[in-house]
Structure 1
């Protein structure tokens, strides 16, 4: 089975009072990175994972954080990882 690289982006809508703790929790997830939106309550997040199931797991984890109203998948792309010889 060949390895894959999955790149996803999401918008995470949250309660303003919870923004700091949500951003910290998302930032601690493996492969997650926040690219802005803290001032608007709509975080722009990218995920880089090895499998599609990891994408789903990370989104579910984000949706279950206190203060998150919605985590919406905007983009998902995957391709095989080329092995170096």
Structure 2
């Protein structure tokens, strides 16, 4: 069976006074990317793991960080690692924007 790649998008709300601590935590995790962040403590994260329970683990670990008010899954996709490495192209064959 080909190796799986699980991509998830999470929405995290952290108290603004605790946001630097969470950003430091995220910087130490190469499989979690901060896609967007607001001064009010709202973050959009992208998580990539090899197993589906890895996404659940990330949710639980993030929810347990100091100052995190809420952490929710907003998107999850499973693909083979080979599919995940392909370049997406538009209808004309050019790379998608």
Distance across 2 between alignment mates of 1:36 and 1:81: 25
| Larger-Rg structure | 2
Task: Find the counterpart in structure 2 of residue 79 from structure 1.
Answer: 79
Query: What's the TM-score once normalised by structure 2's chain length?
Result: 0.78
Structure 1 CA distance for aligned equivalents of residues 67 and 42 of structure 2: 12
C-alpha distance in structure 1 between counterparts of 2:58 and 2:24, whole Å? 14
1:7-60 Cα distance to aligned partner (Å, 9 max, x none) = 100110011100011111122124001122141210110001101011111111
The runs of 4+ residues in structure 1 deviating greater than 3 Å are none
Q: Check if 1:26 corresponds to 2:21.
A: no
1:69 aligns to 2:69 (yes or no): yes
The CA RMSD measured in Å over matched residues stands at 1.5
Query: Is the Cα contact below 8 Å between 2:4 and 2:80 reproduced in 1?
Result: yes
2: CA distance, partners of 1:79 / 1:42:
28
C-alpha distance in structure 2 between counterparts of 1:29 and 1:53, whole Å:
17
**Structure with higher RCO (Cα < 8 A, 6+ apart):** 1
